[in-house]
Every structure is written in structure tokens, then in C-alpha cells.
A = this chain, B = another copy of it.
Amino acid sequence: MLDKLGVTLPIVQAPMAGVSTPAMAAAVSNAGGLGSIGVGATDAAGARAMIAELQARTNRAFNVNLFVHATPVADPARETAWLESLAPAFAEFGATPPDRLTTIYKSFTDDPDMLTLLLEVKPRVVSLHFGLPSADIITALKQAGILLLATATSLDEARRIEAAGIDGIVAQGVEAGGHRGVFDPAGPDAGLSMATLTRLLVRETHLPVIAAGGIMDGTGIAAALALGAMATQLGTAFIACPESSADEGYRRALAGSGAYHTQLTSLISGRPARALANRFTALSETLAGHRTPDYPIAYDAGKALNAAAKAKGEFGFGAQWAGQGAPLARALPAAELITTLAEELAVAQRLTPFGVS
């Protein structure tokens, strides 16, 4: 499977739309891992430019990640109510909420241009988050020779991924930063950890499992491999890399006390996502009970609030996604981080096994 992924190390750099960059992905791929870009928050033209930059920087395999959420349903009354509930936060920065909210980017399911681009460019790997596209789309991608991965947060989702003919599962533990890949955000979520979910999927499915969530160093990779994962996916470990597009406030927050208190919240984007504790996540106390607009319509409001706050020097309303391992993040160049992870993994695996009598 690692051969199929085109890597020499069992390390995937998580896509992280808005944080990862083609430069980061290229550095990771060139260093023996699988670099990823997230194109879920852009359109086919934007994706084409990112892929072109990536291809200019590496000849190695890379992964292109797509959001496959349900088509959002506009609901003007709900959106207006939501904007009203955010108005006091805007007012703190002398701003008012936008008049209306829009669907700021399409689901892959609703974006035939993106499919056309992928079939033309043929990245080695395409990974899917939030759900699965139609059987026709999956067949077209597979016939183009693309290896497909999809995120599961539960055994039920993993079984749907397996039944759809996907090649591998990203087992996303509750520790993971950013958006939880739950197929249905309105459904129950057992919040399985990386270790529990990985073990369950290794035992109960037949697909290769890539473990994600809270993995920050080589010992974490060794632990996931011990659980039967064939590789690992790390996101938060790369946020502080110089190649990331995290802004100054995000980097500062990652190195601060909020890193010890990451929180799952739907307030920022309309879907549950794990972020550093900041001014935005603190709104959960006053906004509990309010219903957000559909993802990503709510994100339009979240981004507007962040822009208003940032204009006044307040970085605490950013979508500062991070996983529970945030306190262990290192500000190394991506290639150096990959080399370090590989060395730590080798050390962890060389340690004398516990002597069972």
C-alpha cells in the first residue's frame, strides 16, 4: 500500500485547506511522505493553480483532498437569526454582520468542473472528506488510475467506504484538528479516539487504515503502526512549519495555553471542528442553543467576524484549527519535520521490547 501511495515513509501530511500549501506538500513528498493539498475551499481554477505549483515543485506522488458534504440548504430566516446572534461580537470591533450569507464553496458532489480537472491531472491520490460522491464519480476516478482514500470517524462510515470500493480509510480520531469527517453532522457521534477507531477498523474492515488524530511525533506513529495502521496522517504537527499559511495570530495561539484546551465547535463553520480555545470557541457559552446555518454557509459569517476582529488587531476569532496534540507542535521546516519523525519512529521501534516472561 505504501508503494501505491508512492511514499517511502508511513506519513501523510494532512490536507488542511487554508493551512497547508503546495510548497508544504511538495516538501513532504520530496522527503518521502505523502504531501497533500486541500482544494475543498476553492474552485476548479484555484485547484488547477495549486496543483500546477505542486507539480512544479515535486515529481513525487501527492494527494488532493476534496470536501464531499451534503449540498447546503439556504434558509434565510435561520441565517438572519444567526447573524443577529453574532451582532454583539461584530459590534465589539465597530462592525456589523454581513447582510446575507452565501455558500462560499461547493461540495465536490456539485462541482463537475473539479471532477474534469482531476480526471485530466490524475493526481496519484485523491482523498474524500465528509462523505462519498456517487458511484459514477468513484468509478471515473478509479478508472483514471487514481488511488482513493476517504475519512471515517466510525465503523458504520468505514463500512460504507469499503462498500463503495474506496482503496483505503483515513481513521480520524476525535483528537484530530479541523473538521471532523462525520458524514452526517446531525447524527450521533461516539467521538472515538484515534487508537480506538484504528483498532476497530483494522479488525472489522478489510481496507488499509491510515490513523489520524493527535499524532505529533515518531512515538505516535509507532503506536499507530502497532495498532495495525499501515500509515499515519499528521496535520497539527505541520501548522507551525514555515511553509504553512497560518497567520501570526494562529502561530502564537498554537504556542499558547489554548493548545491545552482544544475544543470541538460547530459555531465557526456550521460543522463540528476542533480548534484552539480562543475568543470564537468561547462564544459557545453564549450561543449554546442557537442553530448555525448549514456548512459552509455559517463559515461565511465566521470568516466575516474574523476579518472584522483582525482589522482591529484581535486574532482570537480566527479558525485556529488544531488537534489535541497541539502543545507538542514544532516550528520546523516541513522536510526537516519529516526527517525528524522518521528518526523518532526508528528509535521508537528499535527500543527493546518489553520482555514477556
Contact = CB atoms under 8 A, between A and B. Distances in A.
A193 B190 contact: no
A298 B20 CA distance: 48
Interface in A180-215: 188, 190-196, 199-200, 203-204, 213-215
Number of copies: 2
A83 interface: no
A147 to B, nearest CB: 20
A203 B323 CA distance: 17
A217 B200 CA distance: 11
A100 to B, nearest CB: 31
A316 interface: no
A348 B173 CA distance: 22
Given A154-B260, A190-B262, A226-B348, A200 B356 contact: no
Contact of A227 (B196, B220, B324): B220
Interface string A322-344: 01110110000000000000110
A234 interface: no
Interface in A342-356: 342-343, 345-346, 348-351, 353-354, 356
Contact of A195 (B175, B188, B353, B356): B175
A193 B173 contact: yes
A180 to B, nearest CB: 13
Contact of A328 (B8, B200, B216): B200
A161 interface: no
A223 B195 contact: yes
Interface of A: 8-10, 32, 154-156, 173-175, 188, 190-196, 199-200, 203-204, 213-217, 219-220, 222-228, 260-263, 323-325, 327-328, 342-343, 345-346, 348-351, 353-354, 356-357
29 contacts: A9-B356, A10-B354, A154-B260, A155-B327, A156-B260, A175-B193, A175-B195, A190-B324, A191-B191, A193-B193, A193-B194, A193-B324, A196-B324, A196-B325, A199-B219, A200-B325, A200-B327, A203-B328, A219-B228, A223-B224, A226-B226, A226-B348, A226-B349, A226-B351, A343-B356, A345-B354, A346-B353, A349-B354, A350-B353
